[in-house]
């Protein structure tokens, strides 16, 4: 194993049995950033990972840092399970982020930008441009930028303006030519104009803030511009809805979103290096921040804007394109379209995204259900409908359109839209309005809980009577994320699963509270206890016990304690965790039999798979929407479904075996909370290996596991 990649203090344990979840999440960002530092990765893919990490750090401040600041300012001094108080966490987080920012800035300025220039993609500076280029940008400024600029003065008669979340701004210091008195103004860079303005050749770009900065004289006639600097503000994205007091949750969410836009507390100030002390002091005073919330950057602010560079049509600088294959049982034969209902009556079907196609599985299943005259009802959950900061990725429009068509065809269509999905609230509200106007029954879940489960139920009239067809998955019903997120979906005509989904939807849309479910494992009522029971069953087997958990996050201390107890009895435990994990693996007397690894690469590992028992047909396998976090287990509606078909178990086991053998994308955690890149001996890249397997199966070269 390679040595640990050290950014700041990697020991996140503080002498306790748990790694701090916030610092663990930052370690995940460091693993993602490491992808941008890999020289043999295609250049625009490296740029993409800088954009991803920059966007992730924005969200980290909006949510995680904002919550800690609120606790600290509220006088909370109690330490969490990891032994750190809110204030101690903020100090450790700041140290780590300063280090990470420094590495991001250095990589972009000293490595990526020169490498892009070699490929003819240049970030030009305004002062180095020739007369023709300047004239071109002058025209862009006059015609597209100047009309939407609004300079705001700050003085005794003009209070400090509200600075919107993640907006790019210029702090301008002005001097009166007659009185020599100095004044301060703020200019907001218009968010509806591209961040990087292309020159006529389409290969060179100039940041919009440079163009505005070089035309400030047009905004402040009669005054001299003494100094100007770029700054960026991050605000809290935490919102709360008093559902018990809200007669209309939709209207309440709209009000909260307006509040977030206008009044959320500032939590971070990013400034250019070289900012004048008096200008910084004025910004801090106006934003009610301290120097602890200031981050000075050497690279352009807001590198999430690099998505526009990644969007360039330069296939030679990106990963080879991939066209998802069709799951063999869903492939057309002899020109005939697959009948999903007939096929599911033969047995369950498992689909693995992005290796296999969303269009020929979930979308086709839904489309057939919408068009089939024998289908009586379609019930579905919608959680996340868009991804911020990536203009190339859209939402679930195709799925929503199909549901609308089904309603217009006279079917009973019920859609549960989760309005409280963070950062997708506005998009979800729009979809809810559209669905309602088409006659779809739209509901917003259970009071006090987020509905996170990924479920679809189709009810059909057949000769033998009413039959239910179900889909339970690990990912959202989104055709675009299905091309970049790794997820698993189970399609089944199992009557018990269908009956359970009927019970679950009745619970979500009405007042029914099932005492139990036949096969589904549902939170918040049954999931925690079931997982604990399964862990204890394996613990009782001692060294013959086996547990594997593949999840996005594992931070729930009760579940972790159960894993520690099982390890103490000799049970073998393998954890594959993409994001934050509070488990300390390999600690003598605590977790000696626990291994912890993370796969970070081309695709976002998103599936949740839980296996209890020795790999094979006798083991119990679950897939579903739930991570091992308190919020998932206690405060969300989640569902896991057992995979019982031996063929499908073998398929899942194949995926797990590849991920456990990976030595290209894999990282492993040490007892102190640090992460190290696995030494590459065999060259097993999970994503490439699974792409190759999917391609070979589509050509008939490799059979499915059986």
Per-residue pLDDT tens over the stretch 423-476: 445 555 666 777 877 788 888 766 777 888 999 999 999 999 999 999 999 998
For the chain, give the mean pLDDT: 88
CATH 3.40.1080.10 fits 123-289, yes or no: no
Residue 253 is predicted with a pLDDT of: 42
DSSP class of residue 112 equals I
Backbone angles phi, psi at 459, to 5 degrees: -110, 125
Distances from the Cα of 259 to the Cαs of 44, 164, 254, 331, 654, in angstroms? 37, 11, 9, 49, 48
CATH 3.30.870.10 fits 521-698, yes or no: yes
The Cα 413–Cα 357 span in angstroms is 24
Residue 433 is predicted with a pLDDT of: 73
User: pTM of the prediction?
Assistant: 0.90
Q: Which helix (H) or strand (E) holds 153?
A: strand 151-154
CATH no. of 21-115: 1.20.58.310
- Superfamily, domain 328-509: Endonuclease Chain A (3.30.870.10)
pLDDT confidence tier of residue 86, bands split at 50, 70 and 90: very high
Contact 330, 338 (CB under 8 A): yes
Per-residue pLDDT tens over the stretch 515-558: 789 999 999 999 999 999 999 999 999 999 999 999 999 999 99
Distances from the Cα of 33 to the Cαs of 26, 54, 277, 604, in angstroms? 10, 9, 31, 14
Contact 520, 497 (CB under 8 A): yes
pLDDT confidence tier of residue 199, bands split at 50, 70 and 90: confident
Burial class (CB in 10 A: 0-12, 13-18, 19+), 343: middle
- Cα Rg for the chain, rounded, in angstroms? 27
Neighbour tally for 334: CB within 10 Å: 4
Instruction: Give how far the C-alpha of residue 315 lies from the chain's centroid of Cα atoms, to the nearest Å.
Output: 25
Residue 5 is predicted with a pLDDT of: 41
Residue 13 is predicted with a pLDDT of: 53
DSSP class of residue 296 equals E
The Cα 487–Cα 351 span in angstroms is 8
Q: Which residues contact 607 (CB under 8 A, 6 or more apart)?
A: 474, 475, 486, 487, 488, 550, 623
Per-residue pLDDT tens over the stretch 468-522: 999 999 998 888 889 999 999 999 999 999 999 999 999 888 876 777 899 999 9
Residue 478 is predicted with a pLDDT of: 86
Backbone angles phi, psi at 379, to 5 degrees: -125, 130
The Cα 424–Cα 59 span in angstroms is 13
pLDDT confidence tier of residue 248, bands split at 50, 70 and 90: very low
Asked if 441 is an active-site residue, the reply is no
Q: Quick one: residue 450, left, alpha or beta (phi over 0 = left, psi -120 to 50 = alpha)?
A: beta
Query: Can you give the residue ranges of every domain in the chain?
Result: 21-115, 123-289, 328-509, 521-698
Evaluate whether 328-509 and 521-698 have a shared fold. yes
Residue 420 is predicted with a pLDDT of: 52
- Percentage of the chain modeled with pLDDT above 90: 71
Q: Of residues 61, 158, 215, 452, which has the active-site annotation?
A: 452
């Amino acid at each position: 194993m390679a040595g640990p990649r050290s950014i700041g203090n990697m020991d996140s344990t503080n002498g306790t049995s748990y790694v701090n979840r916030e610092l663990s999440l930052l370690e995940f960002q460091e693993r993602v950033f490491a992808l941008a530092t890999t020289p043999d990765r295609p250049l625009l893919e490296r740029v993409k990972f800088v954009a991803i990490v920059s966007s992730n750090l924005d969200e980290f401040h909006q949510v995680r840092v904002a919550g800690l600041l609120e606790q600290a300012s509220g006088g909370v001094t109690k330490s969490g399970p990891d032994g750190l108080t809110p204030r101690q966490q903020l100090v450790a987080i700041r140290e780590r982020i300063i280090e990470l920012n420094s590495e991001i800035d250095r990589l972009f300025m000293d490595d990526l930008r020169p490498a892009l220039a070699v490929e003819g993609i240049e970030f030009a500076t305004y002062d180095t441009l020739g007369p023709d280029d300047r004239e071109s940008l002058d025209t862009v400024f006059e015609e597209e930028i100047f009309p939407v600029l609004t300079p705001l003065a700050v003085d005794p008669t003009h209070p400090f303006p509200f600075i919107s979340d993640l907006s790019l701004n210029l702090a301008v210091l002005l001097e009166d030519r007659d009185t020599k008195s100095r004044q301060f103004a703020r200019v907001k860079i218009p968010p509806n104009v591209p961040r990087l303005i292309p020159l006529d050749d389409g290969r060179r770009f100039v940041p919009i803030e440079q163009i505005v900065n070089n035309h400030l004289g047009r905004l402040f006639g009669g005054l001299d511009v003494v100094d100007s600097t770029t700054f960026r503000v991050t605000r809290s994205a935490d919102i709360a809805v008093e559902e018990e007091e809200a007669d209309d949750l939709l209207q309440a969410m709209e009000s909260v979103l307006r509040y977030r836009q206008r009044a959320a507390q500032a939590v971070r100030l990013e400034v250019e290096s070289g900012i004048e002390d008096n200008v910084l002091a004025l910004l801090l005073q106006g934003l009610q921040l301290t120097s602890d919330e200031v981050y000075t950057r050497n690279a352009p602010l807001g590198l999430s804007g690099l998505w526009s560079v990644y969007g360039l049509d330069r296939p030679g600088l990106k990963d080879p394109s991939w066209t998802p294959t069709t799951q063999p049982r869903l492939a057309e034969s002899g020109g005939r379209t697959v009948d999903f209902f007939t096929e599911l009556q033969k047995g369950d079907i498992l689909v693995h995204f992005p290796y296999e196609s969303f269009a020929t599985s979930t979308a086709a299943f839904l489309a057939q259900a919408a068009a089939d005259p024998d289908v009586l009802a379609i019930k579905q959950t919608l959680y996340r409908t868009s991804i911020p900061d990536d203009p190339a990725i859209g939402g679930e429009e195709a799925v929503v359109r199909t549901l609308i068509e089904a309603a217009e065809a006279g079917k009973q269509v019920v859609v549960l839209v989760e309005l409280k999905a963070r950062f997708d609230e506005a998009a979800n509200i729009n979809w809810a309005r559209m669905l309602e106007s088409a006659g779809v029954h739209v509901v917003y879940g259970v009071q006090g809980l987020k509905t996170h489960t990924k479920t679809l139920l189709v009810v059909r009239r057949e000769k033998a009577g009413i039959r239910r067809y179900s889909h339970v998955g690990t990912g959202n019903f989104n055709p675009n994320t299905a091309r970049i997120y790794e997820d698993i979906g189970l399609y089944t005509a199992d009557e018990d699963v269908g009956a359970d989904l009927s019970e679950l939807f009745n619970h979500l849309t009405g007042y029914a509270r099932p005492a139990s479910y036949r096969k589904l494992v549902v939170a918040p009522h049954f999931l925690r206890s079931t997982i604990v029971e399964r862990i204890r069953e394996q613990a009782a087997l001692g060294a013959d016990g086996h547990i594997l958990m593949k999840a996005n996050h594992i931070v729930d201390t009760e579940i972790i304690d159960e894993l520690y107890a099982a390890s103490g009895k000799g049970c073998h435990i393998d954890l594959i965790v993409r994001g934050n994990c509070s488990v300390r693996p390999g600690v003598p007397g605590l977790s000696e039999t626990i291994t912890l690894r993370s796969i970070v690469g081309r695709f976002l590992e998103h599936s949740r798979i839980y296996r209890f028992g020795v790999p094979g047909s006798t083991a119990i396998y679950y897939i579903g929407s739930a991570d091992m976090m308190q919020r998932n287990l206690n405060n969300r509606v989640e569902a896991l479904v057992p995979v019982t078909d031996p063929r499908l178990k073998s398929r899942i086991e194949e995926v797990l075996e590849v991920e456990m053998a990976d030595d290209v994308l894999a990282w492993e955690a040490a007892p102190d909370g640090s992460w190290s890149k696995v030494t590459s001996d065999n060259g097993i890249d999970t994503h490439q290996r699974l792409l190759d397997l999917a391609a070979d199966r589509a050509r008939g070269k490799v059979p499915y596991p059986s």
